[in-house]
């Protein structure tokens, strides 16, 4: 056989091992980026079995239409025994060469990726043997000197080292959180105990994070097995919480949880312990494959899309590949890492767990993991630990527009404060409440049921203090002996902190730390890459756009969907990327007549030539004050003639409501914890500087409030530099077939 090495480069994409939500988005991105960059792109169906059985087919642009929003993998996946054998891999190599393929994107877990690496290493030997067996000729062997491999990690467990997230983990967390929220409401009514088993053989990510996002009572993960005697301690903790007023108890167990002697901690055993120890029958829910299913979350769609595009550009590098690579996400940036280094580090953690080196396993998981474990430990307590009570009081207020996750931040902040011996106060309705003296003290159980609730329990408004307000505020601070404030809010909140800070020379009461944590669906706050609420809004938009697109399945229709964000295009860009929008309009990039003319031409060509039935444009609410959504809609509708009609949809306040997404709950907990620690440190060291904080580059960033206008433009209320802006071109590249 002769291979068909051509001048045009041929790449193939395959999904393998356990499926994960977001694989389709990655496949779409690989296929379309490949075609857009002039490659022939093939899909290998049914994982390695398809490679062995020659189930390889060339993909066209339309073959990946309409899959972005689907769970599972449209090209199939399987576990394949044949590929584990050398003979199977030889057949696979012959099939690839016959199609002219020597560059592969493998989407799978560490098993699939290890197999891919072995295949790459063996490639020259496999080809030499194919020559010896006279299956290929020497010339063909020389035409295919190396196999290039780039992996994308598809695994709902989030168990791969070197990457912050794997494809499917966020969606699985959505499924778990939805299920536990549902269980909690029935458990609450009947005062029941539920034991919920979630996936995670060697990695407790899903158990730990769902424990935080659902406010669970007790969590078992493989990385930190409980000390002996946990059975008694767990029952005592649950009983104490019951006495304190908790109506429901949820115990989450990762499927790989073990005790200190390596005995599995099964859901059945936990139930047995609880039934006996609590004197009531508990129920078991094993979530199982539900966790793999359903639509991918907004995050899994845009992350997988960006990773797929990066995989192709890595694969097309002209230089020889010295090792197999994987595409990873580190601190919100897409990068590449060594495949085998990542697999080895992942296995090192599993080995630590197997060998009982738990401290090391926790360290290898990284600092964020440790912070989240500490938060969970405190949040699960039935009451604050007994120790010397400080008389110092810290107040919490929520300001600006409500953002989903504000209540989770409040819940964490109150408990972290109480656990550290502070008195915790809540101020109703932002500055208005301070002026009107609406201040109350929080007890441990007052915040018990707050997790996962939309809106703001404290109430919020957008008043910025002026004139005599400062006098009333100073009076309230003195009377309630407030020594520090945690301010959960958006741009308005930051301005309030700035104003109070400015008035320090006049009012000595203001000489106290105010720590702002970013909570705004707009994600427009300096010093922070993801603010509380923005992920929920993004998911709301993405779900709405899915429905809008479906409404025009057979019509020739273009939609312009207007989303919030004020002058910040984050929601527009990310929702466009996650829904396959053709064009995105945002203030950062501007909107011009010329741009609209070009887009109209591209859309018209596409409706004419590609048999397109629906197109999507996402427009930020303040993209351009003259070219409004209404104007653009009428312009496109008129100019497109009979080719397609144009409808607009303004999503409005729906974007600010709803239950917070798991990520927003986790982000709220993390930022509230960091914010409270900033206040504790300031109170201990008697430093009163007011700051805003955020997560940046994987660390907590801290900035004096006086720097607000240096880091962000007050006119458009967004940071000068935004990490996601460069993704805008990728959206159009993946949505419109190149000429």
> What separation in angstroms does the CA of 432 have from each of 472, 473, 650, 687?
10, 9, 31, 27
Residue 18 binds ligand ADP, judged by CB under 6 A:
yes
- Residue 469 to residue 434: CA distance in whole angstroms: 9
* Among candidate residues 503, 736, 513, the one with its CA nearest the CA of residue 606: 736
Q: Does 16 bind ligand ADP (CB under 6 A)?
A: yes
Interface with ligand ADP, residue 112, by CB under 6 A: yes
Q: How many residues bind ligand ADP (CB under 6 A)?
A: 16
**What's the min distance (Å) between Cβ of 23 and ligand ADP?**
11
Which is it for strands 333-338 and 439-442: parallel, antiparallel or unpaired? unpaired
Closer of 163 and 624 to ligand ADP (Cβ): 163
Q: Which of 29, 33, 46, 48 binds ligand ADP (CB under 6 A)?
A: 48
Q: How far is the CB of 121 from ligand ADP (least distance, A)?
A: 11
Pick the stretch among 10-18, 58-66, 309-317, 569-577 that binds ligand ADP (CB under 6 A).
10-18
Q: In angstroms, give the least distance from the CB of 611 to ligand ADP.
A: 36
| Minimum CB–partner distance for residue 293 and ligand ADP (Å) | 16
Determine the length of the chain: 739
- DSSP sequence for 672-725: HHHHHHHHHHHHHHT----EEEEEETTEEEEEEGGGHHHHEETTTTEES--TTG
Nearer to ligand ADP, 85 or 729 (CB): 85
Based on the shown chain and the rule CB under 6 A, indicate whether residue 417 belongs to the binding site for ligand ADP: no
Cα distance between residue 522 and residue 403, in whole Å: 9
Q: Which residues, including other chains, have CB under 8 Å from residue 124's CB and lie 6 or more apart?
A: 145, 146
Q: Which of 66, 111, 454, 459 binds ligand ADP (CB under 6 A)?
A: 111
Task: Point out the residue whose Cβ comes nearest to ligand ADP.
Answer: 111
* SS3 per-residue string spanning 343-382: HHHHHHHHHHHHCCCHHHHHHHHCHHHHHHHHHHHHHCCC
* DSSP calls for 58-82: E--GGGGTT-TT-SS-TT-----SG
For residues 417 and 421, give the distance between their C-alpha atoms in angstroms, rounded to a whole number: 6
Angle at 401 between CA 396 and CA 405, to 5 degrees: 60
Q: Which positions are annotated as active-site residues?
A: 157
Q: Kind of pairing, strands 40-44 and 56-58? A: antiparallel
Cα torsion 447, 449, 451, 454: sign: negative
Q: How far is the CB of 342 from ligand ADP (least distance, A)?
A: 13
CB of 78 to ligand ADP, least distance (A): 7
Does residue number 204 form part of the binding site for ligand ADP (CB under 6 A)? Answer: no
Can you tell me which of 115, 433, 518, 569 binds ligand ADP, judged by CB under 6 A? 115
Does residue 330 bind ligand ADP (CB under 6 A)? Answer: no
Nearer to ligand ADP, 96 or 500 (CB): 96
* Residue closer to ligand ADP (CB basis): 18 or 513: 18
Interface pick for ligand ADP out of 15, 33, 69, 114 (rule CB under 6 A): 114
The strand order across the sheet containing 557-563 reads 583-585, 614-620, 557-563, 645-650
Kindly write out the interface string for residues 544-583 of this chain, putting x where it contacts ligand ADP by CB under 6 A and - elsewhere. ----------------------------------------
CA distance 247 to 674: 29
Q: Is 161 in the site for ligand ADP (CB under 6 A)?
A: no
**Shortest separation between residue 89's beta carbon and ligand ADP, angstroms:** 7
Q: Using CB under 6 A, which residues numbered 50 to 109 contact ligand ADP?
A: 79-80, 83-84, 108-109
Nearer to ligand ADP, 43 or 581 (CB): 43
Please give the span between the terminal C-alpha atoms of the chain, in angstroms, as a whole number: 34
Residues that bind ligand ADP (CB under 6 A): 16-18, 48, 79-80, 83-84, 108-112, 114-115, 118
């Amino acid at each position: 056989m002769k291979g068909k090495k051509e001048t045009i480069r041929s790449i193939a994409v395959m999904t393998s091992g356990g499926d994960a939500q977001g694989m389709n988005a990655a496949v779409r991105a690989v296929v379309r980026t490949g075609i857009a960059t002039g490659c022939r792109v093939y899909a290998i169906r049914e994982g390695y079995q398809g490679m062995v059985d020659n189930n390889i087919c060339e993909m066209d642009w339309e073959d990946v239409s309409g899959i972005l929003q689907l769970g599972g993998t449209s090209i199939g996946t399987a576990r394949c025994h044949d590929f584990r054998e050398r003979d199977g891999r030889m057949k696979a190599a012959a099939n690839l060469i016959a199609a002219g393929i020597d560059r592969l994107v493998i989407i799978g877990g560490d098993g699939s990726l290890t197999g891919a690496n072995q295949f790459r290493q063996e490639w020259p030997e496999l080809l030499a043997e194919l020559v010896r067996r006279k299956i290929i000729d020497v010339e063909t062997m020389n035409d295919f000197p190396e196999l290039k491999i780039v992996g994308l990690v598809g695994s709902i467990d989030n168990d791969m080292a070197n990457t912050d997230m794997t494809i499917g983990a966020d969606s699985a967390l959505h499924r778990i959180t939805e299920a536990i929220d549902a269980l909690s409401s029935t458990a609450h009514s009947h005062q029941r105990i539920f034991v919920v088993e979630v996936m995670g053989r060697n990695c407790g990510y899903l158990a730990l994070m769902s424990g935080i996002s659902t406010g669970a009572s007790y969590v078992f993960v493989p990385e930190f097995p409980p000390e002996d005697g946990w059975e008694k301690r767990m029952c005592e903790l649950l009983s104490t919480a019951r006495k304190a007023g908790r109506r429901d108890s949820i115990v989450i167990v990762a499927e790989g949880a073990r005790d200190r002697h390596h005995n599995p901690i099964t859901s059945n055993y936990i139930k047995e312990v609880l039934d006996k120890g609590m004197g009531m029958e508990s129920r078991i829910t094993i979530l199982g494959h539900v966790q793999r299913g359903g639509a991918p979350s907004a995050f899994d769609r845009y992350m997988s899309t960006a990773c797929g595009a990066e995989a192709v550009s890595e694969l097309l590098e002209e230089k020889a590949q010295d090792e197999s690579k994987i595409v990873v996400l580190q601190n919100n940036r897409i990068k590449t890492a060594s495949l085998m280094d990542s697999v080895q580090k992942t296995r090192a953690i599993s080995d630590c767990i197997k060998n009982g080196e738990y401290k090391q396993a926790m360290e290898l998981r990284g600092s964020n993991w440790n912070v989240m474990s500490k938060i969970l430990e405190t949040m699960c307590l039935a009451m604050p630990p007994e120790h010397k009570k400080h008389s110092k009081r810290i107040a919490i207020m929520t300001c600006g527009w409500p953002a989903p996750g504000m209540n989770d931040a409040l819940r964490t902040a109150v408990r972290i404060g109480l656990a550290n011996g502070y008195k915790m106060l809540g101020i109703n309705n932002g500055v208005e409440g301070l002026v009107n003296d609406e201040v109350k003290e929080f007890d441990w159980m007052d915040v018990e049921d707050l997790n996962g609730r939309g809106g703001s329990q404290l109430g919020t408004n957008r008043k910025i203090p002026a004139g005599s307000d400062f006098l009333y505020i100073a009076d309230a601070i003195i009377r309630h002996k407030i020594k520090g404030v945690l301010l959960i809010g958006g741009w308005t909140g930051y301005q309030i902190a700035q104003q109070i800070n400015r008035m320090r020379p006049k009012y000595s009461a203001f000489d106290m730390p105010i720590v702002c944590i970013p909570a705004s669906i707009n994600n427009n706050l300096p010093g922070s890459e993801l603010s509380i609420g923005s992920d929920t809004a993004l998911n709301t938009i993405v779900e709405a756009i899915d429905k809008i697109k479906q409404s025009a399945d057979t019509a020739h229709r273009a939609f312009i969907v207007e989303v919030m964000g004020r002058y910040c295009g984050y929601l527009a860009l990310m929702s466009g990327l996650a829904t396959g929008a053709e064009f995105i309009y945002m203030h950062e990039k501007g909107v011009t007549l010329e741009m609209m003319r070009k887009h109209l031409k591209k859309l018209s060509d596409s409706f004419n030539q590609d048999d397109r039935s629906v197109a999507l444009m996402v427009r930020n609410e303040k993209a351009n004050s003259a070219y409004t959504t209404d104007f653009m809609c009428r312009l496109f509708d008129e100019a497109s003639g009979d080719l397609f009609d144009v409808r607009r949809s303004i999503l409005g306040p729906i974007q600010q409501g709803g239950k917070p997404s798991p990520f927003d709950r986790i982000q709220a907990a993390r930022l509230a914890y960091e914010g409270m620690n900033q206040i504790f440190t300031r109170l201990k060291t008697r430093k009163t500087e007011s700051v805003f904080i955020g997560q940046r580059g994987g660390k907590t960033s801290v900035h004096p409030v006086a720097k607000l206008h240096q880091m962000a433009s007050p006119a458009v209320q967004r940071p000068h530099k935004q990490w996601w802006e460069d993704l805008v071109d990728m959206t159009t590249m993946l949505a419109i077939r190149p000429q």
